Structure 1
Amino acid sequence: MADEEVATRAPESDAVQDSLFKGDSIAQEGPSMGEHCTTDRPTPSGEVPTGEISKLGGVDAYITKPADYPHSPSKLLLLLTGGTGINSTNNKLQADKYASEGFLVIMPDQFDGDAAPNSAPEAAPEAEPSLIERLKLGVADTAKSFLIDMWLARHTPEKVLPLLHKVLEAAKEEFADAVANGGGIYAVGYCFGAKYVLLLGGQHLDSVMFGVDKPTDEEAGTSSKGPYIKAGAVAHGTQVTPADISGVKVPMSLICVEDDPLFPEEIRKAGEDALVKSGTEHEFKIYPGVPHGFAVLGDYADSKIKEAQQQAFGEMLGWLQAH
């Protein structure tokens, strides 16, 4: 894979290229995401979100606060989700977990009301399907993959970043006490959201920040901007390029899945080498034997995945608290 190739081609998208949509440019070239990026795991029993959705900078955001805020000081945390977005119960509970640890959490609707296709809790497994049922499921998976590619084409950096900047500017005003207490804004990102935490934590030319090819001389009007956050932590990113990582200028923790087709080793290695060269404080944690998306709150039958999920949360939280 070339250095600039996006690290998000899911295995199911290969079927799109080879069957229904031969010749379609989006199906052939557009990035894709896996099931764990677009479908919630079952919600842990008995857990109910405690925050609320309101407008922040004109953008819907799920906001959840520590129980003793504002009587006790808090720090501001931006949480960026995978494709299931802010209406996902699991994502709300994930935000609540950070709030219970002393962060005032803002989880914005980075998709502007357009969450990933078929975003819904994952159904419980049933009996082994018949051959005909498996064929039907294969066609459905291929169609869904195409829909996700189309959806991703609607949610590019030039669409997502302006929404995030509106939220950040409004948050600095409305929650100035939390921003001041933390000495800036912290951020965590999962799957889709991980790329944008990396971008917000970086110093990039306009051409990198907005995903377009522009001349890099000053006469063309390009300039370096950022970083917009103090420190960040991301888990199993999608759509991430080496440039996204190499531009990072703030302390960054990256939780990765071993042999992850959505975040291949060559992308990780190139990014890690760049961070080492730049002297940017960072850490990479590699988790074997877990699926992409494991760090997003949700129930698993496999106790090893449950333990890894809890460990990843603890490591991300610890990184933020240490910075």
Structure 2
Amino acid sequence: MSSSASGFSSCCLQTFTWSGTPTGTETKLAANDAYVTGDNKDAAVLFIHDLFGWRYNNIRLLADHYAREADVTVYVPDFFGGWVADHKLVEDERFDLIDLPKMAKLNSREIRGPEMVACAKALKAEHGFQRLGAIGFCYGGWAVCHLASKERGEKLVDAISFGHPSWLVQEDIANLTVPIQLLAPEIDPSFTPELKKYTFATLLDLNLPFEYVHYPAIVHGSLVRGSEKLEKEREAMAAAKNSAVAWFRRLLH
């Protein structure tokens, strides 16, 4: 088990260009629109977005970092059927102006799970990638576990990583079959202390390779959309990015 690098070097922080312009392009993956970045022909990462959707600038910038620094091709499909959250409303906590129950219903496990499986299959069967990882934050957390579940009956991904997952249940952890990295903020009403303890104990029982990275005083969501002006959040975002990069460099090459 590892912990967050609170003493992260300033040079690494400078390379974490949270503000910037994504460098990838838009394409199709299976039947879904997708953002793609990177040019590795053998190793890919399927990046499952959070509440803000596949067009969210931070997600695309992270995808660019993963592609460049982990030497992989990264795909970010749209798993919300074109729906994109107004992140300004979310940041301002104007949830009354966003129909989250309807969004959840339209993007349930039953609806989007098969699309995620189809995208993972397409990356290996149609695009020819030999090694495939998956990473997800918030909504994407349960999703990467879905891809790595023994219930699939086949190996879709070789390694997964998630941060501050939502919709995660104990069965998602109990059914895992591949190495997993957990990027876990301390303050997280979705990934509760009880669920964290269950996860740690279960992964030990499963005897799977795993890495648990704890971020003290960091709140749910901050690893993807924290404030660059707050030192702790800025360091956590950079540290999480580097942890994911190191994880996929080690397991996909």
Is the TM-score greater than 0.5? yes
Q: Is the 8 A contact 1:44 1:298 kept in 2?
A: no
Shift of 1:322: 1.5
How far 1:52 sits from its partner (Å)?
Answer: 1.2
2:127 aligned with 1:154: no
Match of 1:114 in 2: 83
Q: Does 1:191 align with 2:138?
A: yes
8 Å contact kept, 1:194–1:237: yes
> Per the alignment, in what secondary structure is the counterpart of residue 84 of structure 1?
coil
Residue by residue over 1:6-49, the C-alpha shift from the partner in whole angstroms, topping out at 9 and shown as x without a partner, is xxxxxxxxxxxxxxxxxxxxxxxxxxxxxxxxxxxxx944x111
- Is 1:53 the counterpart of 2:21 in the alignment? no
Aligned-residue offset at 1:122 = 7.0
Q: Separation in 2 of the partners of 1:82 and 1:256?
A: 15
Root-mean-square deviation over aligned CA pairs: 2.2
Q: CA deviation at 1:234?
A: 0.7
Q: Partners in 2 of 1:52 and 1:154 — Cα distance?
A: 26
- Supply the distance in 2 between the matched residues of 1:59 and 1:253 (Cα, whole angstroms): 26
What's the secondary structure of 1:268's corresponding residue? helix
**CA 1:298–1:272 in 2, change beyond 3 Å: closer, same or farther?**
closer
**1:170 Cα offset (Å):** 2.4
Alpha-carbon deviations, 1:231-276, whole Å to 9, x = none? 0111111111111111111000101111311110111111221111
Deviations 1:172-209 (A, max 9, x none): 24421xx22xxx311111110011101111212xxxxx
Q: Secondary structure at the match of 2:224?
A: coil
Residue by residue, what CA displacement relative to the aligned partner does 1:264-301 show, whole Å, maximum 9, x if unpaired? 01111112211111111112222111121111156421
C-alpha contact 1:195 1:237 (8 A) present in aligned 2: yes
SS of aligned partner of 1:289: strand
Highest Rg: 1 or 2? 1
For residue 265 of structure 1, what is the aligned residue in structure 2? 193
Shift of 1:74: 4.6
| Correspondence for 1:62 | 35
Superposition TM-score, scaled by structure 1 size:
0.67
Q: Which residue in 1 is equivalent to 2:179? A: 251
Pair 1:267–1:151, CA change in 2 (3 A): same
For residues 18 and 84 of structure 2, the distance between their equivalents in structure 1, rounded to whole angstroms, comes to 22
Comparing 288-297 and 98-107, the one that deviates more: 288-297
How many positions carry a matched residue from both structures? Answer: 234
Q: Secondary structure at the match of 1:232?
A: strand
1:76 maps to 44
Percent sequence identity is 27
The equivalent position to 2:123 in structure 1, one of 171, 181, 197, is: 171
The question of whether the paired residues in 2 share the 8 Å contact of 1:59 and 1:166 is answered with no
Unaligned runs of 5+ in 2: 1-16
User: SS of the residue aligned with 2:222?
Assistant: coil
Alpha-carbon distance change, 92 to 74 in structure 1, aligned in 2, over 3 angstroms: same
Shift >3 Å, 4+ stretches: 119-123
What is residue 64 of structure 2 aligned with on the other side?
Answer: 96
Paired residues of 1:242 and 1:268 also in contact (CA < 8 A): no
CA distance in 2, matches of 1:166, 1:266: 32
2:222 is aligned to 294
CA distance in 2, matches of 1:93, 1:259: 24
Structure 1 distance, partners of 2:108, 2:53, is 15
Partners of 1:100 and 1:119 in 2: CA distance: 26
Instruction: Decide which structure has greater strand share.
Output: 2
Q: Name the SS for the 2:165 alignment partner.
A: coil
Deviation track 1:117-139 (CA, whole Å, cap 9, x = no partner) reads x344877x9xxxxxxxxxxx8xx
Any gaps of 5 or more consecutive residues in structure 1?
A: 1-42, 126-136, 205-223
CA distance in 1, matches of 2:185, 2:113: 26
Question: Contact 2:18 / 2:61 at 8 angstroms: preserved in 1?
Answer: no
- CA separation of 1:194 and 1:270: change in aligned 2, threshold 3 A: same
Please tell me whether the aligned partners of residues 134 and 159 of structure 2 are also in contact (alpha carbons under 8 angstroms): yes
Q: Decide whether the 8 Å contact of 1:76 with 1:105 is kept in 2.
A: yes
**Does the Cα contact within 8 Å between 2:62 and 2:241 map onto a contact in 1?**
no
Provide the rounded CA distance (Å) in 1 between the counterparts of 2:250 and 2:120.
22
Deviation at 1:55, TM superposition (A): 1.4
In structure 2, relative to structure 1, the CA distance for the partners of 1:235 and 1:120 (3 Å cut) is same
- For 1:234, the aligned partner's letter is F
